[in-house]
Structure 1
Amino acid sequence: MANFIADNIPADLPLSPKVKALRKAYEDSKTKLGDYTRENARYRTRDVSQVGEIKARYSTPALEDAKAELKTLEIEAVRESKALPNKEVFLGTVQTKIDEYDRIVSALETLVKQAHSVFSEAVTEELVPMGLKAAKAAQKCLDAWKVAEAAAVSAREALERNGALFTWCASAGSVETLPLEGASAGNNAEYWELSEDGRLTTEAATELGFAGIGLVEGLVVMPAPVVDEQAEAEAEFWRTHKPRIHAAKSEGYGDNWEH
């Protein structure tokens, strides 16, 4: 449980200063480990075994480089008839760094685990006070939401009431509510929109359902029944459409189409 908590803390969780300090210590320990392993990666021993090999093989970049350099020095010494460099001393220096790397990484990993454990335990110990604080904040938000909801409902009712008054005026008393009032999809009052001169825009009139209603001039941008020009054009096409008929003649069938 503790490990899960430490690795999945919400960003807005109200941590105490103490826990925040422990989290920073944990994060700093991880950063220190990451920096050291990155800066000294050439001293890390890697498994370089290939698939199918029976015995594992290991390689360290720093040691391989040292061996290559030693080989070059040995060739040069032989060429000049000089004494060979001391292999144990030459490679021993690198091996010391490799051993040091393993020891330091092991120690840093232990520090990370310890910091992680302390941090996790501290978070667990404060679950109750943090939970109570979050519960109080949630209640405050709920109260504010209820006030906002009531205000929204009241504003919507006022919008629909004034929209109905506008509709009565725009239709010269023939319609007393918003055109879509009672429709399953709602009255679309939220589409209300005025032009710069204060009149209802044509787009809003269409969404609100004023299509087909005779409107008083001066209240809507387009003071006439709102029509769907594309739908009317399509209806006119089908009204005048004449299907093509293939007429068969005794001399055979040919491209003889009438329209």
Structure 2
Amino acid sequence: MPQRFDANFETAPPADLPLSPKVKNLRKAYQDAEGAHEKYVQENSRYRTRDVRVIGESAPRYSCTALEEAKRELKEVEIAAVGAGKPLPDKDEFLAPVRAKMDEYDRTVPALKALAAKAKQEYSAALFGELKAMGLKEAEKAAKARDEWEKAYKAMAAAKATLDLHTGLFTWCVSAGYMDVHPRTGHSQGENLEAWELTEDGRLKFEAAKALDFYDYMVKVEGLIEPDPNPPAPVEEWAMPRTPAQHYSKPVGHEDASYVGGIY
């Protein structure tokens, strides 16, 4: 007899897990059973037995929302019957439909929970039974992906070395031997070689050169880097502004205090 397995997986099965059709069907049966339980509880919660005591009541009083509403309705019917001189309605008969629904609720909810638990057990056990086979397949796929990743990494490293070589040779050319590596090599902000881009005639674009820190003092050979498409406006040569002459008039009859004997 196979050992019973209670699957309490720490996490839900990943969406990419390659489940067999059998496990998928059992999972759907479990989801449907859980959904049926949740739907029934939601639609019939007013028949759930609970403690409905109010302030002032010390002992528990078990009832449900629907039964309390039916009792209030019964009192109104009784008052109307007495006022009209008619016999009182049968209490048990009046409340019987609600009590029947309460009994149905008390029996149906555990049955639905048990059905969902059974479906979960079957689904979990079937899933657990396939974990070894799935794990072996995933290990094989991972090994293949690892080999492909290693090849891609080696190709990337080789391409990067080639990129470093040619950007360094370009830098030596444009700087006339002043530098033999591209400017950002070793910078803390990264090499920024993804900015390398050429114009249609093969020159390094101005914005690329700017992003790569090719400063003017490095550029010794013209024609390898695109000129600034939007050069700053020329600044006029600085000149001392002339102060216009100022003339002050004097009131008629005013004598300059500094004028003494015809001498200022």
- The one-character-per-residue Cα deviations of 1:156-178 (angstroms, maximum 9, x if unpaired) are 12211221222122213332222
Question: Out of 39, 59, 64, which is 2:63 matched to?
Answer: 59
Tell me the matched-pair count. 222
Does the 8 A contact of 1:178 with 1:187 survive in 2? no
Does the 8 A contact of 2:205 with 2:225 survive in 1? yes
Deviation of 1:6 (Å): 8.0
Equivalences for residues 161-200 of structure 1 within 5 A: 161-181=165-185, 183=186, 185=188, 188-194=191-197, 197=200, 199-200=203-204
**CA gap 1:53/1:188 in 2 versus in 1, 3 angstroms:** farther
**CA gap 1:8/1:142 in 2 versus in 1, 3 angstroms:** same
**CA gap 1:13/1:86 in 2 versus in 1, 3 angstroms:** same
**Please, what is the CA RMSD of the aligned residues?**
2.6
Question: Out of 77, 99, 105, which is 2:103 matched to?
Answer: 99
Does the 8 A contact of 1:46 with 1:58 survive in 2? yes
Question: Out of 108, 121, 126, which is 2:125 matched to?
Answer: 121
Partner of 2:12: 8
Partner of 2:147: 143
Does the 8 A contact of 1:160 with 1:189 survive in 2? no
Partner of 2:225: 220
Report the secondary structure of 2:7's partner residue. Answer: helix
Partner of 1:25: 29
Equivalents in 2 of 1:7, 1:191: separation in Å?
A: 40
**CA gap 1:203/1:59 in 2 versus in 1, 3 angstroms:** farther
- Unmatched tracts of structure 2, length 5 or more: 229-264
Seq. identity, %: 45
Give, as a single letter, the amino acid of the residue that structure 2 aligns with 1:37.
Answer: V
Deviation of 1:55 (Å): 2.9
Deviation of 1:77 (Å): 0.7
- The one-character-per-residue Cα deviations of 1:58-82 (angstroms, maximum 9, x if unpaired) are 3311111111111111111111111
Does the 8 A contact of 1:62 with 1:94 survive in 2? yes
Does the 8 A contact of 2:49 with 2:63 survive in 1? yes
Using the TM superposition, name which of 67-76 and 191-200 deviates more: 191-200
Does the 8 A contact of 2:52 with 2:64 survive in 1? no
Deviation of 1:53 (Å): 7.0
**CA gap 1:213/1:147 in 2 versus in 1, 3 angstroms:** same
**CA gap 1:186/1:98 in 2 versus in 1, 3 angstroms:** closer
Structure number with bigger Rg: 2
| Greater helix fraction, Structure 1 or Structure 2 | 1
What TM-score, normalized by structure 1, do the two folds share?
A: 0.75
Deviation of 1:206 (Å): 4.3
- Unmatched tracts of structure 1, length 5 or more: 224-259
Equivalents in 2 of 1:76, 1:13: separation in Å?
A: 66
Using the TM superposition, name which of 134-143 and 159-168 deviates more: 159-168
Using the TM superposition, name which of 106-115 and 117-126 deviates more: 117-126
